[in-house]
Amino acid sequence: MNTADLTALLTRLLAEPRETEWLEFKATRLEPQLLGEYLSALANSASLLGKPRAYLVFGVEDGTHAVVGTAFDPLAEVAKAGGPLLPLWLHLGLQPNVGFEIHAFSHHGQRVVLFEVFPAFDRPIKFYGTAYVRNGTSKTELARYPEKERALWNRRLDWSAQVCEQATLADLDPAAIAKARTEFATKNPRQADALATWDDTTFLNKAKLTVHGQVTHAALLLLGRPESTTLLAPAAARISWLLKNDRNEDLDYEHFGPPFLLTVDEVLARIRNLKVRELPDGTLFPVELTQYDPWVIREGLHNCIAHQDYGLRGRIQVVEKPDALLLTNVGGFLPGRVETVIEQDAPLEVYRNPFLAEAMVNLNMIDTQGGGIKRMFMKQRQRFFPMPDYDLSQPERVALTVRGRILDERYTRLLMAQTDLDLGTIILLDKVQKGQRIDAEGAKRLKAARLVEGRYPNLLVAGNVAAVAGQKAQHIRNRGFDSQYYRDLIVALVAEHQPVSREDIDALLLDKLPEVLTQEQKLTKVHNLLRNLAEAGVIQNVGVRRWPKWVLGNQRSTENHQQKP
């Protein structure tokens, strides 16, 4: 913009009655970190309000809107000592970088610096890992306003729906189109007769793969010839299969590109789905099953394709380990929690690639009714295998692990014996068998059903379940004995060998305490037992603090400690 345009723009901004969520005035400079936070907040707020730009103006007083001028020169300032110039540092920190422009000009003899900020368009804009937003005239973290964050995702451009100007129907694979027709007829049986009369252009429009005959990114992903990947650049359209041994060393690999409608089956063919003894020893009719249910793998892989963030230029990975499959895609898990998807059992509120997702539904690849993920869990439950694990710890990556072996026979036998357990309970029990921590409410629920025992958070399968599993001895080792048993041992040791040291008592008890306890937890347990006996007067410490020596108490008998709970 020239000076006249900038002057006219500033005049319009000064005419605003007050600062807004897309407009901020500052009389003086801001520290670099704070400046970057404002740019993130303004970009996100401009998007939410449908504004084509947001503005941060230096040299103007807030409230009075008086133009007072500023010496702030962002083009010459460095962000940190020895670091890059401020504009470069700001650009590097904004992810994704929608861009901003800096304009310095004179208004009635006063120097003004105006930041013209472009709105977010496909996701929240973060500044060095944190997204900000305006709440009225205040700047705050976007995470505090989940409804605004959801709205930003809802406003995003759908990359999969965009037409690829260079592509034609000739860039689509004939075999993939034939397969697409077959799957469309399966998904939409009422249209099977009409389908036979449609030419390819009509069919692709009906299947929501093209727009008025123009080829979309979604069509190239699902039906494109292998060489069509160049038309999708800079987005990456690749599925990589890697085979690893138990030392995590690479043994083999292969890369697959479009048409994904066909190559998913090629990926499945590379996975060594070995036969395993499915049911535990001791069952009347043990059977052999494959490590993985093919439907579960296909559903997981189709979800990776549907929810991949192709703007991040990453690839989908299928890592095959000796007893597990790891499927990963780039892009965060928009529903937030897997449990939410399972509990609601309803369509997702937000899709990263809605056009692609709808096309995959029409081609019988995924289910947008919210049942796909839940069905994966149910399939594993029917096979008595561990539940799928979703790792959502990284903000721009989803990792799904499907295990191909039994982890805990007690858990497996429990599923065999109690077929009426609901899926939520099974998921909690699955976490217990994996040694994963569950919340206190979940633990209370399992305890009420007598499915687990132990002191939270160190839970284990309950005794009645262990009996079903034929693991009584291991269960006792895990559970240990009641406190009275250990107190009796201490009293017997002191009575026969007094005075005894703490080391003597540890040597007696540590290997008898529950195996599920850590060494530190065992030492704490012994300390509590000694304190309990001392408070009851059954034993007393006649040593010094650092070197205690325990003898029998003078005032109270052994009967006293037996009454102690």
- Under CATH, which number does the domain 483-562 receive? 1.10.10.10
- Give yes or no for a cis peptide into 234 (omega within 30° of 0): yes
Average pLDDT over residues 308-314: 84
The answer, yes or no, to whether residue 342 has pLDDT greater than 60, is yes
Lowest mean pLDDT among 76-90, 127-141, 479-493, 500-514: 479-493
Task: Report if pTM > 0.85.
Answer: no
Give φ, ψ of 213 to 5 degrees: 85, -5
The answer, yes or no, to whether residue 145 has pLDDT greater than 50, is yes
Average pLDDT over residues 249-258: 95
**Which residue from 54, 53, 62, 55 is spatially nearest to 26, judged by alpha carbons?**
62
Residues 51-107: tens digit of each pLDDT: 878 999 999 998 899 999 999 999 999 988 878 899 999 999 998 877 789 999 999
Residue 489: strand, helix, or coil: helix
Q: Who wins on pLDDT, 347 or 402?
A: 402
Residues 396-426: tens digit of each pLDDT: 789 999 999 887 777 777 777 777 888 888 9
Give φ, ψ of 116 to 5 degrees: -95, 110
Residues 523-563: tens digit of each pLDDT: 988 998 998 898 888 999 888 777 889 999 864 444 444 44
Residues whose CB is less than 8 angstroms from the CB of residue 36 and which lie 6 or more positions away in sequence, other chains included: 89, 90, 93, 94, 127, 128
* Mean pLDDT taken over the chain: 86
Cα angle value 470/476/479 (rounded, 5°):
125
CA 105 – CA 315 distance, rounded (Å): 45
The answer, yes or no, to whether residue 463 has pLDDT greater than 70, is no
Burial readout 507-535 (b: 16 or more C-beta within 10 A, e: otherwise): ebbeeebbebbeeeebbebbeebbebbee
CA 1 – CA 7 distance, rounded (Å): 10
**Which residue from 69, 62, 67, 80 is spatially nearest to 20, judged by alpha carbons?**
62
Domain boundaries, the chain: 3-155, 158-406, 410-473, 483-562
Give 523-535 as a DSSP string: HHHHHHHHHHHHH
**Which residue from 456, 457, 13, 474 is spatially nearest to 465, judged by alpha carbons?**
474
Name the class of domain 158-406: alpha beta
What is the token pair recorded at 226?
């292998």
β-bridge partners, 139: 134
pLDDT-based confidence at residue 459 (cuts at 50, 70, 90):
confident
Topology of 3-155 in CATH? 3.30.950
Per-residue DSSP letter, 384: T
Whether residue 249 contacts residue 242, with contact meaning beta carbons closer than 8 Å, is answered with no
